[in-house]
């Protein structure tokens, strides 16, 4: 082989060797960073799983509380309906028939005050 070809091959080999070394020196820290990132990702995914389980528990408790609130609302609705029926009954049967007597109450109070004043006031 010719010496110039041999020198060129050696120079190319040295350049490739140096390039390979630079590549390794730059990739080793990147690989270590990827390892640390993978560990952190595993920890984060474990914490996320725990949080999802806790969220499911909270969701179940909220659903149970909503069912309780629904039953309370239903019973409140029934109570309001029965009170409404009672008030309609009172209005229809009691208040309408005794409206004349209720109209006389202020006059009776006024008359009672006059009688008290005439008798001598408060004792």
Share of the chain above pLDDT 90, in %: 50
What local confidence, expressed as pLDDT, does residue 75 receive? Answer: 92
- Asked whether residue 21 is domain-assigned, the answer is yes
Per-residue b/e over 55-78, b at no fewer than 16 CB within 10 Å?
eeeeeeeeeeeeeeeeeeeeeeee
Counting the structural domains of the chain, the total is: 1
pTM here? 0.44
pLDDT(4) > 60 = yes
- Asked whether residue 92 is domain-assigned, the answer is yes
- Asked whether residue 123 is domain-assigned, the answer is no
Q: How confident is the model at residue 120 (pLDDT cuts 50, 70, 90)?
A: confident
What local confidence, expressed as pLDDT, does residue 121 receive? Answer: 58
Tokens 């041999």, residue located = 6
Neighbours of 108 (CB within 10 A): 10
Domain membership of residue 82 as a residue range: 3-117
Rounded Cα gap, residues 116 and 123, in angstroms: 10
Task: Yes or no: say if 116 and 122 are a contact pair by the CB < 8 Å rule.
Answer: yes
Residue 97 has which token pair? Answer: 């028939």
- Asked whether residue 47 is domain-assigned, the answer is yes
- Asked whether residue 9 is domain-assigned, the answer is yes
């Amino acid at each position: 082989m010719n010496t110039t070809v041999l020198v060129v091959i050696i120079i190319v080999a040295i350049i490739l060797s140096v390039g390979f070394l630079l590549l390794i020196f730059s990739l080793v820290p990147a690989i270590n960073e990827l390892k640390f990132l993978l560990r952190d990702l595993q920890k984060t995914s474990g914490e996320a799983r725990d949080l999802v389980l806790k969220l499911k528990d909270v969701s179940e408790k909220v659903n149970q509380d909503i069912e309780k609130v629904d039953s309370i609302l239903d019973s409140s609705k029934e109570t309001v309906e029965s009170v409404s029926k009672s008030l309609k009954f009172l209005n229809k049967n009691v208040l309408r028939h005794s409206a004349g007597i209720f109209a006389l109450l202020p006059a009776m109070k006024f008359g009672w005050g006059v009688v008290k004043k005439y008798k001598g006031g408060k004792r």
